[in-house]
Structure 1
Amino acid sequence: MSETPQPAGTRGAVDLSSVSGLPSAAPAGAGASGAPEAPAAPADGGRPAVPEGLVVQVDATNLQSSLNRTLQVPGVLVLWSSAHPQTLELVDTVTRVAASLEGRVLVLVADLSAEPELLQAFQPLLVQAFGQPTVPATFGLLQGQPVPLFPGMQPESEVRAVLDQLLQAAVQNGITGRVELTPVPGAPEDDELPPLHQAAYDAIEAGDYAAAVAAYEQALAENPKDHDAELGLAQVRLLERAGSVDVNAARAAAAADPTDIDAAVTVADLDVLGGHVEDAFTRLLDLVRSTAGEDRDRVRTHLLDLFAVVGNHDERVRKGRTALMSALF
C-alpha cells in the first residue's frame, strides 16, 4: 500500500474556483482547450518576447478552463493591476523565468483592475494567503489548487528559486506535463535536453523510476558536476523508495520504537511526499542526536538526501542544515 503523495507546499491550500462560486476543477482529462493564449509580447517597450502558448491571460470566462490546464502541467498565477503599471514588471520577470524552463510551467496572468469579477473572486484568497488583498501576488497551481508563493515584487533570482521548488513539488506528485510552445519568430531555438535527461523525464512520465534512476546515474557518471541530474536523481530515488511501502506498518513501527532507523527513514520519506517537511526533518534530527557511529552516519546521509529533494533554497532546508550542524557538533 502506498501513501497518496501531496505537494510539499499545499497544506492549507483552498480550491481557487470556490472563492467565486465557480464549479470545482474538472476531473483529469477535462477539456481545457479554448482558453485564450496571450500573444507573444512585442519586442518594443522593453517587454520580453515569449513563446506562444506559455502565457494565458485569465478572465472571468476562462478561469475554470485555465485552472484545468494545471491538472497535467504545473502553473504559476500572477495577479497584477493595470492601475499600477509597475506591477507588470513582475509579470515580465515570471514569464522570463518560465520561458527558460522550456514548457515545464504554464503562466496564468490576471489583471484585477480590468476584471472586477476576478478581483472579487481573489480577494478572500489573497487575505487568507498574505493577510491583505495585495497586488502583485503570485501563486503556484498544482492540479487546480493554489499554493501561495509570495506577495509583492521579487528579483529574478528569487522567482527562479521559488519556481524550482514548485517544480520539485510537481514531480513528487507526478505532475510532469509540458506546455506545447511555439518559438518566437526569429528567436534562436532552445537547445534540446541532453539525451540522458530526456530519457529520465520519459521514464518518470511512464512510472519507470528504476529507468529514470539509471539515466540520471549515467549522466552523473559522465559529468559529476551535473546539478540537474543530481537533483533529479534525489527526487526519483525518493519516489522509488516510497512506491512499495506499507504505510500503516511503517508508521506503526516508527511509533512503537522511535529508535528504529529503518522505520524512521521510511516515515520521513512519506512525510516529505505528503508535505510534512518539518516533521520529516525533526524526526531524523532527533535520531542524529540519539545515535552514534554508523547509525548516525546513515541517518545524516538520509537527511541530506531529503534536503536535496526539497531544495537548498527552501527556508526549511536552511534551518534544517543549521540544526544538523548543531546536532553533530
Structure 2
Amino acid sequence: MPRTWRSASPRTTSRSCRRTEAWGTEPPPAARYPESAQGRSAMTTGAVLEATDATFTDVVLRRSHEMPVIVDFWAPWCEPCHILSPILERLANEYAGRVQLVKVNIDQNPMVTQQFGVQSIPAVKAFEGGAMTSEFAGAQPEGQVRAFFDILVPSQTDHAMTAAQRLRALGDDPAAREQLEAVLADDPNHVDASLELADILSASTESGDIERARELAEPFEHDPRARRALGRIALSQLASGKDRAALEARVAADDSDAEARYHLGAVLALAGEWQDALEHLLATVRLDRELDEDGGRLRMLDAFAMLGDTHELTVRYRGRLMNVIF
C-alpha cells in the first residue's frame, strides 16, 4: 500500500490547487507568473525529465525498476506548483543518479493524471519497482521534501548490507564480515547486521568469535535468525574436542550410553548429518532426561532452530520428541 507523506502543518488552499476548483476552468493568464517561474517549471535536465500520457510507462514505470522516480504533477497556472518546483528540481540535481524527478503537466496529460487519482496540485508521487510507493500534496518546506527524497535513497548502510548479503550468497563470509562490521560501526543496534554477523561468527572455531556471536544474537532471541546462531553455538560447544570415531565405538558397544549418544548427536549435527544427529539426541531424551539438565531435548531444539521450523526433519522429529516427553 502506498505511503502517504504528511506535512507537519495542515494543507490549505494557499499550498495546493484543488482539482474541483481548477479543472474545467480557464487557467489564470500566464502573465500572472513571472517568466522565470514558468521556465523553471518546464525545465528539464538529466536529473529532471518530462513525461506524457504516451511516455509515462517508459519514463516513469520502467525507469523505477532502476532507481526511485519522483513524479511532480503540476500546471502552469498553479501558484503553489511554482513554489514547490524549484525545491524539487534543486534536490533532483543534488540526488542525481540516485533519484529521478519527472514532471507531468496535468493540462496536457489528463489520462495519467486521472489514472493516479490526482485531485489537487502540486501532487508528488514516488514510484519504485513499477508501483507508486509514497506521495504528498501541496507546497511543502524544503526540509520535508528532502526527507521525502531521503526515504527513497539507499543509505551507505543499506549499500553495505546489500553487499554483505551478496558476498554471503557467493560464499565469501570474510568479506561479508567486513561489510557487516562497517554497518555496526555506524549503527551498533542494526538488527539485520547484528544477526547476519552472529550467523557468521557462530560458525567460527575462535572462542572470541563465538562469544561475540552470542552477544549479538541474545538481544534478539525470539528472531529465528538469532535462534539459529545460538543453536549452532550450543551444539558447537557440546561437540568441541569430541572424537567422532571414539563416540561411535562407544555407541556400538552400548547403545544405552546416553552421554556418548548426546555428544555424537552434536558432532553429527555440525557435520550436517541431521537425521542421524536427531536420532542420537532423541535417544538421549529417552535414556536420561537429567543428563546436562535435559540436554538431549534442548539440543534437539537447537537443531530445529538451525534447520528451520518448516524443514521436513524438524516437523517429523518435533512430533517424535513430543511423543517421548508426554
Higher Cα Rg, which structure: 2
TM-score where L is the length of structure 1: 0.41
TM (normalized to structure 2)?
0.41
- Structure with higher helix content: 2
